[in-house]
Amino acid sequence: MVSDPRPFPPGEYPAIVVGSGPGGLQASYGLRRHGVAHAVLSADPAPGGMFRKWPFFQRLLSWTKPYAPEAHTSREYQRFDWNSLIADEPELRSLQAEFLDGTSYFPSRQEMEANLAAFADRAGIEVRYECTWERTRRVEGADGTTFVLETTDGEYRTRILILAVGVAQPLMPSPPGIELARHYAETREAPSYAGKRLFIIGKQNSGFELASGLASWASQIVLSSPSPAKLSVVTNSLVGVRARYVQPFEDNFLGLGVSILNASTDGIARAGDGYRVDLRRTDNGMPMSVAADEVIAATGFTCPLQDLPALGVTTFGRSGLPAVTPMWESVSVPGIYFAGTISQAAPGLRKHGIPANSGAVHGHRYNSLIMTRHIAETHFGVEDARPQVAERDVLGYLLREATCAPELWHQKAYLARVVSVSGDDGIRDEGILPLVHALDTLERDVIAMTVEADGTGGIFPVIYVRHGGRVEEHALPGHPMRDFATTEHREAAASAISAVLPSFART
Amino acid sequence: MATREEIADILAGFTLFGDLQTPQLLSVAGVFEEVFFPDGERILRQGLTGSGFYVILEGGADVIVDGTKRSTLQRGDFFGEVSILLGEPPTADVVATTALRCLVLAGPAVQGFLESHPKVMYRMLQAQARRLRNANRWRS
């Protein structure tokens, strides 16, 4: 009998990561960096997660610039590369650029998958593939909770469970006749829609991805949902339908082949060889019907959290996201953490309504590294360095971070460069932390530097100072070329931090 | 976890949205986003810019000014609109006193929302008038 060559046989592990998409790979890398032994389990046969399947058409919505002002191996280059995972080793950095063929700076699905597979391979991330998590139990002992994962390969036990299983379980709406519709996830090859009249429920990116991808095949495309669609170029953020998918809007305004409706779906019924979709208009409540050959529900996805809600994991919202702390730990079942796109469950301050980018790789890759450092420190006694910062260097350091730090640019008003100040041991660099965590949790005085946007198109640095338990916010000026290290910025920043570092009051 | 239809059903029972028909309620349920705060978490932060407009779906919260509790909020109550209408940071903290589920609308979207839903704006005006009357009663 040949023994199973896969790593991580059933048993007990200090930590377990579930998932082999970008979130799972980055979390495993982060745990290893801090010396935390762990197993990685995945139901898939290979790395890549959702990028093994989606998006169906065209390319990703996140780009990587092969040519940029910064060297590929530098930290600063990460601002120009939304798709690679993060590593200390230069040879593991910025792998996506290697897999672009020059036709677009938006990778194809296959190019993204190759990038992630290369990271897993070259970083030596071990995964037990084709091992499906099916059920979960909690065992309470004198020294805390153990989670038991029942899988297709047997039982795994751990005290620290990190779930990076994506937000990829199709979510269907509930109108009568919805069983006649297919979910976005069941979309077929484009030529099979040739000459068909398509009715798409949902006006998010996935709906417009289909409308764009099928425009050259379908004879008519109708997109409908009760609320008006938002456009990212109008919200001045990533909120709304992305610039890549605005063509259907133009077609709608020109009255050519695409109709975009604000209406609720009352029901779907068979009519002849096709379907009749009954609607109610949002503006006046009047009923209307649309004939279609195919109905597709591009209505989003939920978290495949299996039986965790029954175990006490609180969830919220249409996507069934887990309620988590700013460090991405379940608020109701400590010991369960969430990485990857599920990390969007920790919303941060959402200032001016602009969400963090935790739903995408360029946001959650940093969340994973922060979370794994936190896990290593709080559960495994590993202490990461908090280097001292000389007082004369603080200002220049913070302004350089505001100008160049990829974490601050990709996770605006969400992640911060944090230095803490104490009379005992001076100024310490706490690293990159969630802003909310820095403001609410650290016991020392805090200076937190973020980059923010307010939805008007402006981008500017903000310094938060927590001194004696009170928090003050100091917005610094913007700059046409996004250079935040000018004399004007130095003066404004010096004034801001003088509450905790009085020597800067004179600067 | 609540569907758009379930959120619309909840909103139908709130005074603020009491004049809206089902398709409009479904639209509102799509325009707002559901958010969750554990007991003790701050939703509004005194002095910090960029906050949103919140409607409580479930749970309770305290309004705290300079460390002193001023009032409590519960299911159906809304908060955050004053700082958005005035373009100023909130003058109070709002802190969850139970697990709290809310709907939130981003500050920059509030004006457009109210202008396109004048009946909601009128209900909000009534609520503000009530608060003003009560504040004047305390003073007199």
Of A401, A66, A380, A58, the closest CA to residue A242 belongs to A58
Question: How many domains are contained in chain B?
Answer: 1
pLDDT at A126: 98
- CA A124 to chain CA centroid, Å, is 24
Q: What CATH number is associated with residue B86?
A: 2.60.120.10
Mean pLDDT, rounded, for A265-273? 96
Q: Global pTM? A: 0.95
CB pairs under 8 A between A and B: 108
Mean pLDDT estimate for chain A? 95
CATH topology of domain A172-299: FAD/NAD(P)-binding domain (3.50.50)
Q: What tens digit of pLDDT does each residue of A301-347 get?
A: 999 999 999 999 999 998 999 999 999 999 999 999 999 999 999 99
What one-character-per-residue DSSP string does A240-297 give?
SB-GGG-HHHHHHHHTSSEEEEEEEEEEEEEETTEEEEEEEETTT--EEEEEESEEEE
Quick one: closest CA in B to A351, which residue?
B50
A455 to chain B: closest CA residue? B108
Same fold, A11-168+302-380 and A172-299: yes
Q: What is the mean pLDDT of residues B28-53?
A: 94
CB proximity A237 to B under 8 Å: no
What residues of B are in the A interface, CB distance below 8 Å?
Answer: 1-5, 21-24, 26-31, 33-36, 38, 42, 45, 47-52, 89, 99, 101, 104-109
CA angle A304, A115, A171 (to 5 degrees): 20
Distance (Å) of CA A136 to CA A17, A143, A149, A307? 14, 19, 5, 7
What is the interface pTM, i.e. ipTM, of the complex? 0.92
- Domain with B65, as residue range(s), is 4-139
pLDDT of residue A506: 64
pLDDT in tens, A220-242: 999 999 999 999 999 888 889 99
pLDDT tens figures, A442-476: 889 999 999 999 988 899 999 999 998 899 999 99
Q: Is the pLDDT of residue B116 over 90?
A: yes
A232 touches chain B (CB under 8 A): no
Chain B residues touching residue A332 (CB < 8 angstroms): 38
Please give the share of chain A, as a percent, with pLDDT higher than 90.
Answer: 90
- CATH fold of A11-168+302-380: FAD/NAD(P)-binding domain (3.50.50)
Residues in chain A closer than 8 A to B109 (CB atoms): 353
DSSP state of A59: B
Confidence of residue A39 (pLDDT cuts 50, 70, 90): very high
Sequence ranges of the domains in chain A: 11-168+302-380, 172-299, 391-506
Q: Looking up tokens 């590294």, which residue turns up?
A: A369
Across residues A358-373, what is the average pLDDT? Answer: 98
- The rounded mean pLDDT for chain B is 93
